[in-house]
Structure 1
Amino acid sequence: MAHIDLRVDEQQFPGIAGLMRYRPETAKPIGELTDLLLHAPHSLPAGDRELIGAYVSGLNECTFCRDSHSMIAATHLDAGLPLVRQVLADPDTAPISPKLRALLRIAAAVQRSGREVTTEMVEAARTEGATDLEIHDTVLITAAFCMANRYVDGLGTLALDAPEQYEEAAKGIVAGGYAMRLVPGAAGT
């Protein structure tokens, strides 16, 4: 049970979903930013962007965000949840592109401290084909997930028991994006 009364059924609205319903004024910009970073058209595939979020959430030990975004990434990716689990366990040996591996190294550095990102890391990502926009958005996705992880865990929200429990929500997000699912009162919520 959350540390505060969210005035919702936490089983129906676990994690950030309950928080969004509690405070719709903040839900709108959070939902819009999340949609822009993870769902909107981009040169970096949505599955890769979701993997970055799931990976960072795993580093932050945020069960809700790790599991929910693992399922969303798995829904996007042909290799599904087995690949996501490999990335979470060890991105250096997971069968992903060298570009994504370099971006995950940047994400891990940002998760620890933005000051840990080095010119060498950025150049390595560029060498593997990452654009400045992809590097920028990797840093911003990581920063946004660090905020969300602390928001969800800081208020003690409910995390379901396994990534598979997020499958239905993941399909809805893949089909329609975040803004419509996270913002209370929006169509589809």
Structure 2
Amino acid sequence: MPHITLNTDEPGIRGLLRFRPETAGPLNDLAEVLLRGESTLSRGERELIATYVSGLNECRFCTSSHAAFAAAQLSEGMALVEQVRADPDGAPVSAKLKALLGIAAAVQQGGRQVGDHHIAAARAEGATDVEIHDTVLIAAAFCMFNRYVDGLATFAPEDPADYATAADRVIAYGYTTTSPVAEPRG
């Protein structure tokens, strides 16, 4: 049960965004730019970074949501998402993405945990300044989102189908656009 009385029974961040719509806009705008905006990293790769950090933070709602969003946008689907979550170094992803996941994991521990060796490893695999920047910001933003969701004890559905439905919405309409049935973003 959430620590505060929400004006909806929607799970996770969706309920919090409904509760305080004036903060929802900037948060959704940030997610839209980071996860769906122009980038040399695919949308699936960026969602994978968000999933990985959310998993490290043990945020069930965000991990499940963004795992579904990543899986729906990666040809290898949920199997790859689960491999990355379990063993990013052994997962069948590019060396560049592995290096970026290393940066994301360091950010999750604390911004000052990102060392020159993390950046050098990413650059050695061809990561650009923008890709490094966006990885750090995705990781930092998801630490905030995870703490927001869990700090207010929001509800996280058990059924993976709930997250798959949300993935369809996000892929079709994004984080900032209202779908034709006026469903909130999550």
Q: How does the TM-score come out when normalised to structure 1?
A: 0.93
Of the three residues 132, 146, 151, the one matched with 1:149 is: 146
In the alignment, the residues of structure 1 paired with residue 141 and residue 178 of structure 2 have an alpha-carbon distance, to the nearest angstrom, of 18
CA deviation after TM superposition for structure 1 residue 29, in Å: 0.2
Of the three residues 122, 132, 135, the one matched with 1:138 is: 135
In the alignment, the residues of structure 1 paired with residue 87 and residue 159 of structure 2 have an alpha-carbon distance, to the nearest angstrom, of 20
What is the DSSP-based 3-state SS (H/G/I as helix, E as strand, rest coil) of the residue aligned with 1:180? coil
Structure 1: 4+ residue segments shifted above 6 A:
none
In the alignment, the residues of structure 1 paired with residue 47 and residue 22 of structure 2 have an alpha-carbon distance, to the nearest angstrom, of 25
In the alignment, the residues of structure 1 paired with residue 130 and residue 160 of structure 2 have an alpha-carbon distance, to the nearest angstrom, of 30
- Aligned twin of 2:167: 170
In the alignment, the residues of structure 2 paired with residue 33 and residue 64 of structure 1 have an alpha-carbon distance, to the nearest angstrom, of 18
Q: How many equivalent pairs are there? A: 183
1:181–1:148 CA distance, 2 compared to 1 (3 A): farther
In the alignment, the residues of structure 2 paired with residue 33 and residue 25 of structure 1 have an alpha-carbon distance, to the nearest angstrom, of 14
CA RMSD of aligned residues (A): 1.5
1:64–1:129 CA distance, 2 compared to 1 (3 A): same
Of the three residues 20, 30, 33, the one matched with 1:33 is: 30
CA deviation after TM superposition for structure 1 residue 180, in Å: 1.7
In the alignment, the residues of structure 2 paired with residue 23 and residue 64 of structure 1 have an alpha-carbon distance, to the nearest angstrom, of 19
- Aligned twin of 2:66: 69
Q: How does the TM-score come out when normalised to structure 2?
A: 0.94
Once the two structures are superposed, what CA deviation does each residue of 1:56-96 show, in whole Å capped at 9, x if it has no partner?
A: 00000000000000000000000000110000011011100
What is the DSSP-based 3-state SS (H/G/I as helix, E as strand, rest coil) of the residue aligned with 1:7? coil
Q: Contact 1:180/1:187 (CA < 8 Å) preserved in 2?
A: no
What is the DSSP-based 3-state SS (H/G/I as helix, E as strand, rest coil) of the residue aligned with 2:40? coil
Alignment of 1:7-26 (within 5 A): 7-9=7-9, 13-26=10-23
Of the three residues 47, 56, 60, the one matched with 1:59 is: 56
- Aligned twin of 2:116: 119
What is the DSSP-based 3-state SS (H/G/I as helix, E as strand, rest coil) of the residue aligned with 1:169? helix
CA deviation after TM superposition for structure 1 residue 162, in Å: 4.2
Of the three residues 41, 45, 56, the one matched with 1:48 is: 45
Gaps of 5+ in 2: none
In the alignment, the residues of structure 1 paired with residue 113 and residue 76 of structure 2 have an alpha-carbon distance, to the nearest angstrom, of 31
Q: Percent identity?
A: 57
Q: Contact 1:173/1:181 (CA < 8 Å) preserved in 2?
A: no
Of the three residues 87, 93, 97, the one matched with 1:90 is: 87
CA deviation after TM superposition for structure 1 residue 187, in Å: 5.5
Gaps of 5+ in 1: none
Of the three residues 128, 132, 154, the one matched with 2:125 is: 128
What is the DSSP-based 3-state SS (H/G/I as helix, E as strand, rest coil) of the residue aligned with 1:179? coil
In the alignment, the residues of structure 1 paired with residue 183 and residue 154 of structure 2 have an alpha-carbon distance, to the nearest angstrom, of 22
In the alignment, the residues of structure 2 paired with residue 71 and residue 129 of structure 1 have an alpha-carbon distance, to the nearest angstrom, of 27
Q: Contact 1:180/1:188 (CA < 8 Å) preserved in 2?
A: no
